[in-house]
Structure 1
Amino acid sequence: MHFLSEGEFEPFEVPEFSKEKQQQLIEKITNVVWPNELEKDYGWTLGAPSWAVKSLVKEWQTFEWEESRVEMAQWHHYRMKIEGLLIHYVHERSSNPHAVPIVLLHGWPSTFYEFHKIINPLRDGLHGNQAFHVIAPSLPGFGFSDAPTEKGYGVAKMASTINALMVNLGYDKYMYHGGDWGGIIGKWIATRHNDHCKAYHTNLPMVLPPMPTPRNLIFYPFKVLKFFSSLVLGFDNVYGVGKTILGGATFANAERNRDCGYRSIQGTKPYTLAYGLSDSPVGLLGWMLEKYHDWTFHPAERQDTEALPETIAPKEFLTQVSLYWLTNTMSSSIRIYYECLHQNEMIKVVLPRVKIPVAVCAFAHDISRMPKDWLETSTDLQQYNEMISGGHFPALEEPEMLIEDLQQFGRRIKQQNKHF
């Protein structure tokens, strides 16, 4: 057996389900103890309703992992040793000599598979537009990456790992895209590793409003005044309806944000939650489904009556769920919430101004949206686009929109730096 040294990598094959694991899954999802519910249907206000979970459990019973495995096997997979952990990643080099290196980083509850619709188009320069060398890692403790065995793997440590991956691959300069934790980790990389990360693209910006700092008072006095006016008149009245959605403003206070209960328990007692999510595939599916329903775009008339939006096929969702189940990584993936909360990292993410070029794509039903004013005072904002649909998982929901946005920004960055 060959043991990798720090920075070395080896090919990786997407595994098959063992017969034992497959049989265990089928047994568990065909002999379910369903929870007690109220007689009246209250939609999704109490969480994922059983009718929605049951419909997807039924599909899971005939789900073919092999089809998803074959799709994933089309790409080049590797694992690299970084600080003692084997970090999994997809690495698809473009044949285009003008390709820009880009790392695509997922969040929770997601995996590298979130990008399965955009890897090839970005690599190949869809429609003759900007091409990329595409790197799509699995975060430590997610999917096919090793899980940390000790405390400390919060945002800063994750950011250091992803930056080391890119540098070890020979990409001294690279572009970055991420949402959810991928966006948060990306903000850290954009401000602390910008000797290598030269452009930051996200659908989940984490910035301060226009506070009365000396810089803002000199360059953006009207934006500062506008912000303080919004505190009196309301965000919607000053910035426009729906332009300001601060879904992550409180990390674990359910009295202020009724949608942050999952963050509260994952950030404080992840071990206790992990028993149910690790032993019950139905519990795992239900926990994930709530987010894939609530954080995605649904037409108003179907908001309460469909489990998944039309833009995400059940097979795509079940592939994500199966990745967590196959690798038993739900318990390790949720610990990033604990690490971030206990290291007080969120304020450290939000505070610094991003000095490298930034692009933000604001999708209609993402969990957080910030006014363009805020982005302009806190970043070197060079591209901002508002989307009429889509939500928290744009690579799954609206891949064409995301591809076009990334290509537009990539082309801009390439024009600014011919040696990128």
Structure 2
Amino acid sequence: MSLPKNATIAAKPFKISIPDLQLDDLWTLIRLSKLPPATYEGTKEEYGVTSKWMSEMKTYWENDFNWREHESEINKLPQYTAPVRSKDGKENTLHFIGIFSTFENAIPLVLLHGWPGSFVEFLDLIPILAASTSPHFHIIVPSLPGYAFSSAPPLESDFTLQDCAYLVNELMLGLGLKQYVAQGGDIGSFIAEALAVGYPECLGCHVNMLQIFSPPPNHPVSTLSLKEKAGVHRGQRFNTTGNAYALEHATRPSTIGHILSSSPLALLAWIGEKLRDWTDETPPIEKILEIVTLWWFTETMPRSIYAYRQIFIEETRNMDGIALTNTKFGYSNFPMELMPVPKVWVETLGEMVFFRDHDRGGHFAAMEVPELLADDVKEFVKILINRN
């Protein structure tokens, strides 16, 4: 598939090809990495990944996992890298999957991952959307700056969600996609919101994560259904027992970046816990190791957590232009999301044109329930186009 004829950006085809030496180094590090001694806490899932899980994962990673098979499968999708200039004129490289429809009125759709995700979250969602005929789509799935094969944020200055949104918008315009729709989860939801609010080229956004920490006026928890109350309770529990990782990212990003870059088993424990705890059903072992191995080879961990101090630390919190006011948006509510949000709460955020409550699915909806998310995105886009 070729780039649109009116593209102005010099995108180059890209294939993943990790050098054999890096593969050998990884297997050596896995073999030599120690597991800790047995502890009481290591037998209880509520205290994190268990000793049994880590031991089984280490053995499988070392003896049975074949990165080349995953690399070959990912490379079946058309990938590119493109130079994109930031606001200050500095050049960045963005890696992306790009599938361009031959249909004249196809809708450009940018799919935005979060942490600890990557573009591979969307591998099962992409073919479903690419086969859609109502509507037809151009599909762009970028690796966010600092993730996978995109370049790192600058060393000499801070980098924000707004800076990230600017680069994504520049990528879309450079590809000749003058009007588009954004979809995102996790950190990708913030970027989708920033695009929809701050850039007229973005017609609206669909997200599968929202953060509402307190009940809006006139909608106390007592007025909610039992299912909605259960979702609110899940969010409260996450804030109590599940967000320590985010505070570490926000307050000591350099420290945790060094720690998790020093051992593949440390990275597996840190990311594997989230893939286990934030999903409706734990992903297959091959998928977990695909994600972690990609992160290891691309040194994503230390480069990817810049957003957390902006989101979680009051002194550095700058969410200007990242709020669902003055834009049309849609929301899909999955029961095992970190903080499921009741519809009446979502409606207070702005012009909600689509909402759907699901009975299954979690934080990584594109990976867990791609068929459900695809249906929601298609319906949202049809509503959005009819209203514009």
Q: Which residue does the alignment assign to 2:92? A: 85
Alignment of structure 1 residues 12-411 onto 2, 5 Å: 12-39=13-40, 42-61=43-62, 62-82=64-84, 83=86, 84-125=91-132, 128-150=133-155, 151-193=157-199, 195-206=200-211, 224-225=217-218, 227=219, 229-230=220-221, 234=222, 240-244=228-232, 247=235, 257-298=240-281, 309=282, 312-341=283-312, 344-345=316-317, 347-348=319-320, 352-411=323-382
**Aligned partners of 1:400 and 1:238: how far apart in 2?**
26
Q: What's the CA shift for 1:34?
A: 1.0
SS of corresponding position for 1:406: helix
SS in 1 for 2:337: coil
Please tell me whether the aligned partners of residues 99 and 133 of structure 1 are also in contact (alpha carbons under 8 angstroms). yes
What residue ranges of structure 1 are gaps of 5+ in the alignment? 1-6, 212-223, 299-308
Shift of 1:113: 0.7
Structure 1 131/53 Cα, relative in aligned 2: closer, same or farther at 3 Å? farther
Runs of 4+ residues deviating >6 angstroms: none
Q: Which moved more, 1:288-297 or 1:312-321?
A: 312-321
Deviation at 1:275, TM superposition (A): 2.0
Cα pair distance change 1:340/1:244, threshold 3 Å: closer
Take 2:122 and 2:78, find their aligned partners in 1: how far apart are those partners? 14
Partner AA of 1:337 in structure 2: Y
Cα 1:397–1:190 change in 2 (3 A) is same
TM-score, normalisation: structure 2: 0.88
The aligned residue for residue 415 of structure 1 is 386
Counterpart residue identity of residue 198, structure 1: L
Identity of aligned residues (%): 27
Alpha-carbon shift at residue 266 of structure 1 (Å): 0.8
- Contact conserved, 2:205 with 2:330, CA < 8 A, in 1? yes
Residues 160-201 of structure 1 deviation map (CA, whole Å, 9 limit, x = unaligned): 1111111121122111100000011212222222x1111210
Structure-2 separation of matches of 1:412 and 1:148: 36
Per-residue deviation, residues 70-93 of structure 1 (Å, max 9, x unmatched): 222222212222222111111101
> Over the residues paired in the alignment, what is the CA RMSD in angstroms?
2.5
TM-score by length of 1: 0.82
